[in-house]
Amino acid sequence: MKFRSTLILTALLTAAAVASSTFTMKSSDISTHPTERITLGGGCFWCLDAMFKTLPGVKSVTSGYAGGRVPNPTYKQVCAGDTGHAEVVQVEFDPAQTTLGKLLDAFWDAHDPTTLNRQGADVGTQYRSIILFASDAQWAVAEKSKAEAAKSFSQPIVTEIVALKEFFPAEGYHQDYFNKNPHAGYCQAVIAPKLKKFTHREAKP
């Protein structure tokens, strides 16, 4: 009886040890790297959303509004140009997988930073080129990146670099717009060609 009890106790302890080891292993697989966020505007946020979601190290992209005067603006208000907001995307990324510098390199490729308050047929202050930084370190990287990018353009870069005061996520139907509406007119005529050009350029070594 004592021998059988010892065997049962040993088996239970072994099972518990295996379970604990398995749990520890699975827990260690979970990334603990802190992420960062940078907020960028360069025309319609549907375009930037689609493009930045293709980049390595990007964890999420949220379309929204920033840089204005009115709290909790609506899309209609922003489109009217009365709130001062720009259409932007807030990009969450893992610094262990990419850098802010690389994301800003992609940002310059993703739009034309030399056209004031305009990207293609989209005209208005809500479409301005803008980088909204969240820290002094991000400001320094943005300024350096802008200076380097200026060497590649024949016209002066008009991109604003300002501190982010508040970011307001856009309405739900704006989120992941291209992936949800790939056959919509704007997606086919504007976003798809931009995305094709962008992904081809980013794929180059």
Q: Which residues are catalytic?
A: 44
End-to-end CA distance of the chain: 71
Residue 72 vs residues 48, 65, 168: alpha-carbon distances, Å? 21, 9, 6
Q: Are 38 and 134 in contact (CB under 8 A)?
A: yes
What is the C-alpha separation between 45 and 96, in angstroms, rounded? Answer: 26
184: its two tokens: 């919509």
Q: Are 168 and 73 in contact (CB under 8 A)?
A: yes
